């Protein structure tokens, strides 16, 4: 059974990917500094899979401790999630983001090279496209100047990884450009768990509905879209997690050095459509107000997923309603389970 190093494995997407790895018969080893996640996530993973994954509480910027993990384990591949990801915070604290997101990646690549771990799946983002000229956006669309230091770290990270492969430091990398992950595991044992005010739409909706937030603010209803609100491609987090398993498998079967895949549904959904879906599946009326546009928001972006569908053999399967309901079940579960959450 092959060991896979999962950095940021107690985070939102990381934890769901760990579950999928375990259910596929692979052995994930989690490294996380718990800066934006909780140790209790491991309990949720264990409840779903019946097994406790190996876990190291280590910051990837600490190369000495990270090296020890490579010495103690023989990895066949790495899935790299660990990064700061709040767009607004990155504008206020750019050096924090450049240091954390890039130094951690450089340390990881150095050790992968030293210990001959040759395949990497990287958690990238559709932010690299900005506002695309053509929709749905394909992987061939130009990478535009980033609108935030966070977005820029994703672009620079893609370049660093590509250069490392070209220099034969590692053999292969798959860069997965995520669109908008939402929802939770159908068991409601793991899900999105913002430790502060949520940056994403769906946890803000569920926290408002359960009474943690006073109201949801919708930023702008005057965009050039059918209902005036921004359009995104919202993908179920379990579907997204499965794309990582497909990427690991792809590298075993293909000799292509670097591949880029969009991971989305291929459908654009507006903010109002998400709000309406939540009200429909939960039976809750949502308190929301419309305020001015938010600086840096892209009007509309959604994925062309043909490349991932064909070459990875992967496709998003879960519906918007099913996904929104899973997020609501998770919200109710964590509020009932433990006030410390």
Active site residues: 150
Alpha helices in 167-263 (DSSP H): 201-210, 237-253
Task: Give the DSSP letter string of 280-325.
Answer: HHH-PPP-EEEEPPPTT--SB--B--HHIIIII-------HHHHHH
The DSSP code for 77 is E
- Sign, Cα dihedral of 78, 82, 88, 93: negative
Q: What does the CA dihedral 192, 130, 247, 62 come to, rounded to 10 degrees?
A: -70
User: Residue 14: is it exposed, middle or buried by C-beta count within 10 angstroms (0-12/13-18/19+)?
Assistant: buried
Q: What angle do CA 275, 279, 282 make, to 5 degrees?
A: 130
Q: Which two tokens stand for residue 334?
A: 């964590």
């Amino acid at each position: 059974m092959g060991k896979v190093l999962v950095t940021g494995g107690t985070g939102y997407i990381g934890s769901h990917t760990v579950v999928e790895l375990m259910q596929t018969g692979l052995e994930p080893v989690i490294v996380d500094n718990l800066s934006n996640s909780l140790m209790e996530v491991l309990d949720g993973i264990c409840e779903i899979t019946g097994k406790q994954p190996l876990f190291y509480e280590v910051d990837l910027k600490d190369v000495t401790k990270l090296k020890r993990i490579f010495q103690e384990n023989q990895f066949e591949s790495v899935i790299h999630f660990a990064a700061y990801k709040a767009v607004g915070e990155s504008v206020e604290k750019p050096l924090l983001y450049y240091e954390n997101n890039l130094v951690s990646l450089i340390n990881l690549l150095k050790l992968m090279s030293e210990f001959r771990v040759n395949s990497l799946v990287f958690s990238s983002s559709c932010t690299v496209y900005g506002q695309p000229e053509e929709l749905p956006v394909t992987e061939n669309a130009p990478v535009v100047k980033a609108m935030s230091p966070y977005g820029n770290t994703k672009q620079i990270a893609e370049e660093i990884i590509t250069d490392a492969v070209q220099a034969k430091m590692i053999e292969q990398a798959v860069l997965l450009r995520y669109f908008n992950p939402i929802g939770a595991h159908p068991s409601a044992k793991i899900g999105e768990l913002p430790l502060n005010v949520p940056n994403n739409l769906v946890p803000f909706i569920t926290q408002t509905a359960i009474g943690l937030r006073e109201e949801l603010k919708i930023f702008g209803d005057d965009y050039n879209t059918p209902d005036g609100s921004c359009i995104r491609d919202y993908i179920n987090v379990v579907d997204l997690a499965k794309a990582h398993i497909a990427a690991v498998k792809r590298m075993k079967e293909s000799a292509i050095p670097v591949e880029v895949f969009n991971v989305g549904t291929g459908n654009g959904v507006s903010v109002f459509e998400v709000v309406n879906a939540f009200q429909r599946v939960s039976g809750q009326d949502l308190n929301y107000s419309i305020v001015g546009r938010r600086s840096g928001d892209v009007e509309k972006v959604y994925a062309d997923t043909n490349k991932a569908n064909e070459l990875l053999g992967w496709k998003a399967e879960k519906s918007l309603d099913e996904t929104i309901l899973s997020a609501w079940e998770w919200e109710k579960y964590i509020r009932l389970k433990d006030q410390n959450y």
